Amino acid sequence: MEALILYFVLFFPGVFSSPFPAQGIDAAALIPFSVLRELGRTFTYTIPSLALLWYLISDKKGFSALADEKPRIRDLIPFAAGLPALIVTGFGISFLVSHFSGLLGLPQPLKVEAPGNIIGWIVMVASCLASGYLEESYFRYYLLTRLESAVSPEVLRILFSTVLFGFCHFYEGPWGILNAVLAGVILSVLFVRYRSLHGVAWAHGVYNIFVYVMGVV
C-alpha cells in the first residue's frame, strides 16, 4: 500500500514529474528550455521527493540505507550496458515515429530544446541526473525490492514496475509511453541482475542528457 501511495503522490499524473509543461502545448512544437523552470522543479519537487523516498527506504531512521549504497566500480557494468541500450531504443522509437506516426494517426512526440548557454547546460545536467536518481530509486530500487516478499515471479515484478513507469510518462504521448516501457524493461532487468542503483540511475540520467544533446546535432 505504501508503494502505491508513494506512486500517486510522486508520479501521478506524470506531468508533475515532467520537465516540460504538458498542458496547452502542441506536441509537434519545440518546448523551450528554461533555467528557472528546471531549478524550480529540481528544488521544489525532485530533491524533496528523493528525500522522502529515501527516508521511507531507511524505515524512518535518518537515511541510513544510503550508507549501504555508495557508488562502486561494479556500478559501471550496468551503466555501460544500459546507456547504449537506451540510446538504441530511443533511435528505434525515432525511426518508428518518422515512418508510422502519419500512417497510424498518432501525434508526434514532444521535441526538447537544448540549453542556450553554459549555465543552462549545467542546470540541465544536474536536473537530468537528479531525475534519473529519483525515478530509479523508486521504480527499481524501492519498488522491485519491496515486491520481492509479495510477488514471487520475477517477471511479474518487472512487469508491474514497468507498467507504472510507462504510465507516468503519459504526458509524452503514445510514442513516449512506448519508449518508457522499453526503457523500464531494460533498467529493471539490469537492476535485478546487478542490484546497482547507481548504474541504472547513471544510465537513465545520461540518456536524458543525450536527448538534449541530440537537439543541437
49-77 pLDDT, tens digit per residue, is 999 999 998 887 777 777 778 899 999 99
Is a pLDDT exceeding 90 seen at residue 1?
A: no
Residue 111: the pLDDT is: 78
- Strands, DSSP E only, in the chain? 30-31, 111-112
Whole-prediction pTM value?
0.89
- Domain ranges (residues) in the chain: 75-217
pLDDT band with cut points at 50, 70 and 90 for residue 99: confident
Q: How many CA atoms lie less than 13 Å away from 48 in the CB half-sphere?
A: 9
pLDDT in tens, 135-186: 999 999 999 998 888 888 999 999 999 999 999 888 888 999 999 999 999 9
- Lowest mean pLDDT segment, chosen from 4-8, 37-41, 157-161: 4-8
Q: Is 212 left (phi over 0), alpha (psi -120 to 50) or beta?
A: alpha
pLDDT band with cut points at 50, 70 and 90 for residue 45: very high
> Of 10-14, 109-113, 160-164, where does the model show the most confidence?
160-164
Is a pLDDT exceeding 70 seen at residue 15?
A: no
Could you tell me if 115 and 121 are in contact, meaning their C-beta atoms sit under 8 angstroms apart?
A: yes
